[in-house]
Amino acid sequence: MSAIPVADDVLGPDVAVLSLAKVSEALGQSANKVRQLLRDGQLLAVRRDGDLFVPAEFLAGSAPVKGLAGLLTVLNDAGFSRTEMLRWLYSEDESLPGTTPINALRTNHGTEVKRRAQAMAF
């Protein structure tokens, strides 16, 4: 996967982000495990003021949002950079339930989101 994007270049100021320490706490995992999830492409992070942050919407309680890791794999296999993945996940799409792919994923519409991601790959 490509380099970690800078938050201000990708995410709007209204997108809540969590430090790796907060993500670690929420997931009940060590900071090293969270970094491994980032390296493995199961989570995405952005860089803000030199530190890494994960969008808060990527977590659902004590786990990553269901289907996120698979979706990120599909997007990666389609050649999307991390920046492009984040932009796509937060892009408005009125035809999706929840109006953005990440919101649709969070509201159990992962199959539709993944189908659209696969369609973009071809």
Average pLDDT, the chain: 89
Per-residue tokens: 18: 């969590």
Q: Does 100 have pLDDT greater than 80?
A: yes
Encode pLDDT of 104-120 as tens digits.
999 999 999 999 988 88
48 three-class SS: strand
* 67 CB-near residues (< 8 Å, 6+ apart): 105, 110, 113, 114
Three-class SS state of 54: strand
> What digits encode the pLDDT tens for the residues 37-91?
999 999 999 988 888 999 999 999 899 999 999 999 999 999 999 999 999 999 9
Task: Please state the rounded mean pLDDT for residues 95-112.
Answer: 90
